[in-house]
A and B are shown apart, each in its own frame.
Chain A
Amino acid sequence: MTLEIQTISKSFDTKQVLDDISFSVNAGEFVSLIGPSGSGKSTIFHLIGGLLKPDHGDIVLDDQVITNQTGHISYMPQQSSLFPWRTVLDNVLLGQELQGEKDTERAMMMLEKAGLGDVVHAYPNQLSGGMKQRAAFIRALLSPQSLLLLDEPFSALDEFTRLDMQKWLLSIWEEYERSVLFITHNIDEALFLSDKIIILSANPAIIKATFTIPFARPRSEELLLSAEFLDWKRRLTEAIQA
C-alpha cells in the first residue's frame, strides 16, 4: 500500500489553502503532518478522503488514481465520531458494514484486547473520552481499507490519557502494520509516533520540511525524555519557526 499525493493545490473562493503539496506514505509507514491551525491539514484529509476535488494534482493509491473518490481510506476524526445510537460493538463494525462483510468475532477480540471487553454492549455516552477514541481507532483498524487517516485523534484528551493513548496506539499499530497518515499540532506526539514528519506552513500551506525519524521500534515512554528525543524536538521546533 502506497499513497502518493502529487502536486496538490486547492483554493476556496479566492483564498488559496494548499499550494503544490507532494508527499507519500509507504507501506507500513507512520507519517505525521504537523503545522499550525489553519494550515489546511484537514483540507488535505478531505482531499484524500475524496470529499473535495483538488484544483490541480492527483492522489494515487497503489497506482490507482483516487482523486475525488470516497471509500478508499479508513478515517478517524478529531472528536469521537461514534454513533450514539449504536453500541460499541456495532460502532466498530460500521466501517465493515458499509463495505459488505462483518466480522463480529474479530471485532470482539480486538475490543477485548483494547480493554473494552466489558463495554461492548454499552452506548458511547457511557464511555470516557479515552475509551471512545480507542473504540474509534478500532473501528478504523477493522475497516477494510488499508490506509488509516487519523485527524488529531487525541487533541480532546487530557495530558495523562493522551500519553496512555499514544502508547496504546503504538502497540496496536506495531502489531497490525498498517500505513498511517496522522495529523497533529503536537510536536512530542508526532516525534513519539512517526517514521516521517512533514511540516506545513500556513496560508497557503506548503511543505516546509520533511524529516525521517530514526528512533528504533518498539518505542517506549523513556524515549520521551532521552537526549536524542529532545535534540530532535529542537530541530523540529526550529524548522517550524523558520
Chain B
Amino acid sequence: MKKLIQKGWRPLVAILLFLVIWQLATQVFSIETWLLPAPSDIVIEAQNVMDRFWPHFFATLQLAVFGFLIGTTVGLVIATILHLMPRVRETFYPFLILSQNMPVIVLAPLLVIWFGFGALPKFIIITLACFFPIAVSALSGFQQTNRELFHYMKMMGATKSQLFWKLELPNALPSVFSGLKIAATYSVMAAVISEWLGAQEGIGVFMTIATSSYKTASVFVAIFIVMVISLTFFGVIQLLEKFLIRWQQKGEEG
C-alpha cells in the first residue's frame, strides 16, 4: 500500500491537475455545456442518468465478456492449428495479417446486411477484433520454446501431444497473457462500436441517443464508464496472470 502511494501520487496529481484545468477552462472561456461540459457537469449528469444507464451497462458488459471469450477461444484454436501444422501456417498466415488490415468498422455494415441486427454480427465484430492479438502472441509463444527442454522431452520419448501440453503450451502462457490484455481492451471498444450499428440497449445505443440530442455530458459519462470497464477487464486478466504464472514472479522476488 505504501509502495502504491509512493509510486501513484505523481500520476494522481497529474490527473487531478488535468481535471482542474478542464473545469477552469470551461468557466473562464465560458464554453457551452453542449460543446464541452465541465467535469462537475459530468458528475451531476452521471447521478441523473445512473438509473437509466444500468441496463445499457449490463448489456454492453455481457456482450464484451462473451465476445472476448469467443475471440479468445478462436484465437487460441487458430494459433494451435497453425503451430501444429506448419503447412497450414505457411498457407494461411498471410490471411491472418490481411484480416487485420481490414478495419472492423468498415466491415460492420456488411455484417449487418448479412446477419441482421441480432447478436451474431456483434459477436463476429468483437471476435474479429480480439482473436488477432491472442493468435499472434500465442503463436510466437509456441515458437519460442526452449530448445534444451524440447530436446529433453524428445530424448525421453515424449509424444507430440505430450510435447504440446507439457511444454509448448505452458511455455507460451506468458505470451498468451500479453495478447489477452490487448484483446480485453479491444473487446470493450468493439462491443460499443457493434452497438452503434443498431441494438436495443447498450452503452453504444446510449451514446448514439445522447449524441443526437446534444447531451454531451451524457456522452462523457458513457466514455468514462467504458474506460472503467476496460480497466477492470485489464485488471482481472492481470490478476489471473499472477495466479497462473506464479513461477515467474516468485523468481523475480527471490
Query: Which single member of A81, A95, A125, A143 contacts B250 (CB below 8 Å)?
Result: A125
Q: A70-B157, A72-B157, A98-B157 are in contact. Are A123 and B152 (CB under 8 A)?
A: no
Q: Interface on chain A toward B: helix, strand, loop, or mixed SS?
A: loop
Query: Nearest-CB distance from B86 to chain A (Å)?
Result: 18
- A-contacting 9-mer, from B54-62, B88-96, B113-121, B165-173: B165-173
CB within 8 Å of A: which B145-170 residues: 146, 148-149, 151-158, 162, 166-167, 170
B residues apposed to A, CB below 8 Å: 146, 148-149, 151-158, 162, 166-167, 170-171, 173, 245-248, 250-251, 254
Q: Kindly list the 3 A-B residue pairs having the minimum CB-CB distance in the complex, ordered from nearest.
A: A71-B157, A125-B251, A49-B155
Q: A79-B148, A83-B170, A85-B173 are in contact. Are A98 and B251 (CB under 8 A)?
A: no
- The reply to whether B149 and A81 form a contact with Cβ atoms under 8 Å apart is yes
CB within 8 Å of B: which A74-126 residues: 74-75, 77-79, 81, 83-86, 94-95, 97-99, 122-126
Give bound CA distance, A73 to B155, whole Å. 7
- The reply to whether A94 and B166 form a contact with Cβ atoms under 8 Å apart is yes
- The reply to whether B251 and A123 form a contact with Cβ atoms under 8 Å apart is yes
Cβ of A28 within 8 Å of any chain B Cβ, yes or no, is: no
Give bound CA distance, A149 to B171, whole Å. 25
How many interface residues does A have (CB within 8 Å)?
A: 31
Cβ of A50 within 8 Å of any chain B Cβ, yes or no, is: yes
Q: A85-B170, A85-B173 are in contact. Are A123 and B154 (CB under 8 A)?
A: no
Query: Which single member of B152, B157, B158, B248 contacts A84 (CB below 8 Å)?
Result: B248
- The reply to whether A75 and B156 form a contact with Cβ atoms under 8 Å apart is yes
8 A-B pairs within 8 Å (CB atoms) are namely A49-B151, A50-B154, A51-B154, A71-B158, A73-B155, A81-B149, A83-B170, A98-B153
Q: A71-B156, A75-B156, A95-B156 are in contact. Are A123 and B246 (CB under 8 A)?
A: yes
